[in-house]
Structure 1
Amino acid sequence: MNDWPRPHYFFAVKLPDETKSFLSRWVGGAFPKDWFGRWVHPLDYHITMAFLGNVKENKVKDFSLRMADMLKEETAFPLTLGETGYFGKKDSPRVFWAGVQDSPPLAELQRKIFRLCLDEGFRLDQKPFRPHITLARKGTEHLEPGSVVKPIHHPEGTPHTFFVEQVVLYKTARRESPKYQELVVMPLKK
């Protein structure tokens, strides 16, 4: 049986359901749907910490036990949404995302997760960590250049803050929606 495309695996910060709902409502009210070709299902919102790619599931599930041991010593921390942005050309962005405000605890957590994955022998992308939540892909000709960058806030103008309390090992299921399956949930210390 041909299982192409093969699933990919990654470790990510799990967003609380309340944050996913808020972000989905906010994006729906702030941006026209026809600006991007593919919008991410709100249940798939996350912040990737280490993308493992196409690896053997049993290897990564076994490794996640080591990851969980490390993470149970890490303390949960607050994180605040920042503004939207994009990757790619200004007139044709390929990824539209929600950013977060600068967070030394998030950067340190990512560094530890990344290091443990490297120590285990996983090949990881060496680009600098740019924490973001992917919202959509494939900008269209309807897109107004430069208008995709907006601060994210509640109607009264206050920022949205949530607690980072869990890291999850996700598996992609590309033909499904939502397309990310939680394999292992690893709590941080509260």
Structure 2
Amino acid sequence: MNNQTHFFYAIRIPETTKMNMKEQMDRLKELFPFKRWVHHQDLHITLAFLGAAQQDKLQQAEKNVAEILNGEKPFTLKINKLGIFGMKESPRVFWADTEENHELQDIRKKVFTACERAGFQLETRPFKAHITLARKWSGDQPFQMKWLEKWTELQPETLAFTAKEVVLYQTHLTKTPKYEAISVYPLQT
């Protein structure tokens, strides 16, 4: 296993929302056999994955992100449904998404650009705001999308929260929880 540390920028999810999601995840674990479930303290929305980072590039990214987020305001996000990445019969990632939000798209674009200006080569796939819940399907039978639709029907409300911080996280693969906040960028009210 590669123990090299990685860095990424993300929207921090508030503690109360993490606890609400933990309750939901505990129920989901009974229905969906995934190999690894994310620790609730590690829940976040990734904005830019930097990977392994040279110190000078990381410092430049921190400076750029601080400048570009200066004056940005908090905004509301609503977690509203579940989905998967990977093969439909054996998903690689199980996630919760947020309703479309222009403020989130704008913040992501600014953070992404600030990191590119610092010299990072970032993921080029289109941005899909999501909160990873689990990884690697391990069920005895193939995963079926209709299970997610049924779960969504049972959930009468969305989980709403105010995004108040962008955070630079460092990954510690041998710890639980495994993400450590290195720099915090408050969105000012």
TM-score, length of structure 2 as denominator length: 0.90
> Which ranges of structure 2 fall in alignment gaps of 5 or more residues?
none
Quote the Cα distance in structure 1 between the aligned partners of 2:116 and 2:56. Answer: 17
| 1:81 aligned onto 2:79 | yes
3-state SS in 1 of match to 2:152 = coil
> Corresponding residue for 2:66?
68
Deviation, 1:62, is 4.7
| 1:134 aligned onto 2:135 | no
> Corresponding residue for 1:48?
46
Contact 1:61 1:184 in 2 (8 A): no
Contact 1:152 1:160 in 2 (8 A): no
* Sequence identity (%): 35
Contact 2:167 2:182 in 1 (8 A): yes
Quote the Cα distance in structure 2 between the aligned partners of 1:116 and 1:173. Answer: 24
User: Residue type matched to 1:114 in 2?
Assistant: F
Quote the Cα distance in structure 1 between the aligned partners of 2:136 and 2:60. Answer: 35
Structure 1 pair 57/32, CA: closer, same or farther in 2 (3 Å)?
Answer: farther
User: Residue type matched to 1:185 in 2?
Assistant: V
User: Residue type matched to 1:174 in 2?
Assistant: L
Quote the Cα distance in structure 1 between the aligned partners of 2:40 and 2:177. Answer: 8
Quote the Cα distance in structure 1 between the aligned partners of 2:186 and 2:43. Answer: 18
Quote the Cα distance in structure 1 between the aligned partners of 2:152 and 2:113. Answer: 32
| 1:148 aligned onto 2:148 | yes
Quote the Cα distance in structure 1 between the aligned partners of 2:96 and 2:17. Answer: 12
Quote the Cα distance in structure 1 between the aligned partners of 2:160 and 2:55. Answer: 33
Structure 1 pair 44/153, CA: closer, same or farther in 2 (3 Å)?
Answer: farther
Deviation, 1:119, is 1.5
Tell me how many residue pairs correspond in the alignment. Answer: 186
Normalized per residue, which structure has more helix?
2
Deviation digits for residues 72-119 of structure 1, max 9, x if unmatched? 311110000010101011111010001000101101110111111112
TM-score, length of structure 1 as denominator length: 0.90
3-state SS in 2 of match to 1:151 = helix
User: Residue type matched to 2:73 in 1?
Assistant: T
Quote the Cα distance in structure 2 between the aligned partners of 1:126 and 1:59. Answer: 19
User: Residue type matched to 1:148 in 2?
Assistant: L
Contact 1:68 1:187 in 2 (8 A): no
> Corresponding residue for 1:181?
180
Quote the Cα distance in structure 2 between the aligned partners of 1:16 and 1:127. Answer: 27
Structure 1 pair 141/159, CA: closer, same or farther in 2 (3 Å)?
Answer: closer
Is 66-75 or 82-91 further displaced after alignment? 66-75
User: Residue type matched to 2:148 in 1?
Assistant: V
3-state SS in 2 of match to 1:107 = helix
